[in-house]
Amino acid sequence: MSSFSDQLIGTFMLGAAWTLFLTLLIYTFFYRRDPVYQWTLLAMIGLTIDYTMIWQWVVGLVPQLSRGQEIVRMVAQMITWLGGLGLVYTRFDRIWSKRFFFALAYWGMLTILIVGIVLTQSLNLLIVFHCLRFCLGLEILRICWLGMRRHEAGAGLLFALFGLGALAGIRFVMLLSQGGQFAIMFPSVLQGVGSFGTTILGLMAHLAIHNSQTSRTLDQKREEAIRLARQNEQILREQNATLETKVNERTADLLLANQTKDRLFSLMSHDLRGPIGTFRDSLHLLNQQALSPTDFSRLTQSLTQPTDRLYNDLENMLQWSLSEMNELQAKPQPLPAYEIAEEVLEIMHEAAHRKEITLCNAISTELMVWFDEFHLKAILRNLIDNAIKALGAGFGRGHRP
């Protein structure tokens, strides 16, 4: 049985072990469902069970382990190694990879081997077991080394922690070889406290490093999300501004088109009213049959001018309506300028004749122009019509269109 001071130290460490274990258990299951915490909790389960059995021996509750207790303590140690294996694979490699499943199967084989070792009390099997478990430690150290090469946070700490555990396993094998008999050895109080305390502090320090790294990652993601949100907001504002500009432009175009339409209809109604009124009066006279042949001839001649004007106004209205419906498409082609002008002059001849204006086509008969026929005729007709309206009677002979 150990001294009172050893029992006091051992009891204090047992209380600290169970406090840390329960705190980590509650935090992991209710607040932090993180694989790193879950694997660390599994390692803490093995450590707590192992140290509980060490404490029973320290206070004299268990002077000698039964075979069942020997199995429990060795399985608890294997649970600690399993937690460490999952922890390093989660942090520094791919968890649930083929290599991890192979290591997991290797761990299961060693755990099953514990039962045979304890039941047979074979020293050779015990030495082989610890050597095989040392290989499992080498796998953990390999993963930690990969993390160190990539400068992963906490990789060096775990490498040192599990490296000490592997060295302790080698020392235990050497003690077994020197003793020459089967034994599940207990460390001294100071050795147990030192080993347990170092392991606990190492795991807690690694969790602190993991928390710090996770916080930085979350901060970076939060900043990135804020940046993207601001960028999307800026894009949305630009799109809204562009859309608003287009709407305003379209609205202005529609207002202008409506104003143009109203103005055109106003002008057309004014221009059409006179010729149509003349036609109405003439029809009334014809219906009354009160016209002599001479008056009838004069009436028909007087209807020529309003008829030409009405025709021109209808042509202009048709041209405008087609252009507004985007159905007036220019089809330029080689055109004889003289013949086009001659056709327009024939239409405008009567209007010019009434104002004693002579129209003369002085365009060369060989001149060809690249133009749309409908547009060219409309342009010439409007120019000549405006010129006739603007010029006084008897304007000089030989006027060109």
Q: Does 336 have pLDDT greater than 70?
A: yes
Mean pLDDT, all residues of the chain: 80
What mean pLDDT is predicted for residues 190-202?
72
Torsion of CA 240, 241, 243, 247, to 10 degrees: 130
By CB neighbour count within 10 A (0-12 exposed, 13-18 middle, 19+ buried), where does 38 fall? middle
**Average pLDDT of span 133-142:** 89
Distances (CA, A) of 80 to 47, 48, 280: 6, 9, 114
Q: pLDDT per residue over 199-217, tens digit each?
A: 888 888 888 888 888 888 8
Which is more confident, 225 or 278? 225
pLDDT(399) > 50: no
At 38 the pLDDT is: 92
pLDDT at 322 over 70: no
Residue 25 contacts residue 41 (beta carbons within 8 Å): yes
What mean pLDDT comes out for the span 320-341? 75
The one-character DSSP state at 362 is -
Which H/E stretch holds residue 26? helix 4-30
In terms of pTM, does the model score above 0.75? no
Burial 270-295 (b: 16+ CB within 10 A, else e): ebbeebeebeeebeeeeeeeeeeeee
Instruction: Give the tens place of pLDDT for each residue, 265-291.
Output: 665 665 666 667 767 777 776 777 666
State residue 179's pLDDT score: 63
**H-helix or E-strand containing 184?**
none
Backbone angles phi, psi at 356, to 5 degrees: 60, 40
Q: Please, how many CA atoms are within 13 Å of residue 49, restricted to the half-sphere of its CB? A: 17
Which of 48-57, 186-195, 319-328 has the largest mean confidence?
48-57
